[in-house]
Structure 1
Amino acid sequence: MDDCGFTTAVRIIGGKWKVDILCALNSAPRRFGRLRQLIPGISEKMLAQQLREMEADGLVHRQVHDVSPPKVVYSLTDHGVALTGGVESLCQWGEMYQRQALASRELTPAAV
């Protein structure tokens, strides 16, 4: 099922950093430098690439303010905002899964 909605959603948020970017932009529009501060470990090149892809997919809006030096602010589009609800649900499921997996390991006797 190459054209199923789930496959499309996973393709659009695929990659190591896109969910982090969605979360950072969910609370407020951000400038590039602030996004980089909020996402430890992401390189400038990777952040720029991921933002371009998310803009092309219609998740992120890039607004350039005509000042010197140029000011660029990134924000979520309506599609991006709608996607964050699904991402939050996936995060909650993942956290629940991690807790259950940890609890089951603690209950299982260690292999000898």
Structure 2
Amino acid sequence: MYAVNKTQAAILELPKRTVQVFVGGEAYKSEEMTMGKTVVAPHTNMDPHVHENEEEIVFVIKGSGEAIVGGIAEKMEPDTAVVFPKGVEHTVHNTGDTELEFVFMFHPAYDFGGRI
């Protein structure tokens, strides 16, 4: 199986966001990458965090917000990619009145602290 749809994706209820893991979870294991979708509720600020060993790239599907990457504010809107380099603190703020949805990709694979 090389395709994973939303009914097969692992769902993680993380602080201030819901994550669906399509690649890297039980449905399709990958040692090289993790890929999925994050939904952040309106007017919600994710907690700042760091991935020491993984680079993360997000691609905004819908909604609006702001990413703070190493202290620099970056606008998040549809059709925008934001890079979170490994070892750099980052956070996401949904500044809009609708959900902020983005696709995420990690390299190498990230297991969300053993949750997947």
- Indicate whether the TM-score tops 0.5: no
Counting helix residues as a fraction of each chain, which structure ranks higher? Answer: 1
Counting strand residues as a fraction of each chain, which structure ranks higher? Answer: 2
TM range (shorter): under 0.3
Structure possessing the higher relative contact order (Cα contacts under 8 Å, 6 or more residues apart):
2
